Amino acid sequence: MAAILIVEDEPAIQELISYRLQQAEHETFCAKDAEQAIKIVNDVLPDLVLLDWMLPGMSGIELAKTLRRVPRTKNIPIIMLTARVEESDKVSGLEVGADDYITKPFSPRELIARIKAVLRRRSPEVADDVVEINGLKLDPVTHRVTVNDNEIILGPTEFRLLYFLMTHPERVHSRPQLLDGVWGDHIFVEDRTVDVHIRRLRKILEPVGKDGLVQTVRGSGYRLSVGRA
């Protein structure tokens, strides 16, 4: 389940998309122009933006450029919606940083499949797939974490932390990046909170021999890796 912002000036299309996405268990926010979209993005950082190319005022392309310029929004996946079919338009859409491109009319089923593909690629933590690393298995739907089919019990924060690390493995995450990814947007917690929860997570993983997966990278942050630190 993802929070999806739909930027579309035609009410009928906006409503239809929103309805179908909600049926697919997504949370939706709607904007009829770029201005409204920016307001929503500032309030609720969405997991993905569906962006109509032709909008009154600032165009979808301009809005995509704006989102890509700002550090807070530059990584939000964007799918452009458009009635245009020319190849050159597709290229300029992708050049401003759109992740995918759908030409109207499209079927809701296709749209949902594309959204899932983009999320899986860009934000695996909202795609709801079971992740497994080195015998450690996490199911985001049932919230079950197992090692060789033995369930281990995690607190909610440790669960989200582990989920984030497992869906972004082998990368070093700074404390602020972990706060952003795990604690969420607009929540101000101290950096050392991260250390506390990392310690708890390791403690839970220790009896099953998996604490070595969560590694400290001196001076940088933490990483989940199957290789030794």
| 8-67 residues near Ca ion, rule: CB under 5 A | 9, 52, 54
- Applying CB under 5 A, the site for Ca ion has a residue count of 3
> Is the link from the previous residue into 105 a cis peptide, with omega within 30 of 0?
yes
Task: Report the residue number, 48 or 80, with the smaller CB distance to Ca ion.
Answer: 80
Closer residue to Ca ion, CB minimum distance, 9 or 195: 9
195 touching Ca ion, by CB under 5 A:
no
Q: Which stretch binds Ca ion (CB under 5 A): 2-10, 22-30, 61-69, 130-138?
A: 2-10
Least spacing, CB of residue 45 vs Ca ion, in Å? 24
Q: Which residue is nearest to Ca ion (CB)?
A: 54
Picking from 127, 162, 126, the residue whose alpha carbon sits closest to that of residue 144 is 162
Rounded Cα distance between 165 and 162, Å, is 5
> In the complex with Ca ion, which residue's Cβ is closer, 52 or 99?
52
C-alpha of 131 from chain center: 15
Residue 61 near residue 82, CB atoms below 8 Å: no
Our finding on whether 158 is near Ca ion (CB under 5 A) is no
Q: What is the CA radius of gyration of the chain?
A: 19
Q: How far is the CB of 60 from Ca ion (least distance, A)?
A: 8
Please state the closest distance from residue 143 (CB atom) to Ca ion, in A: 40
* Cβ neighbours for 229, distance < 8 A, ≥ 6 positions apart: 212, 215, 216, 217, 223
Binding residues for Ca ion, rule: CB under 5 A, are: 9, 52, 54
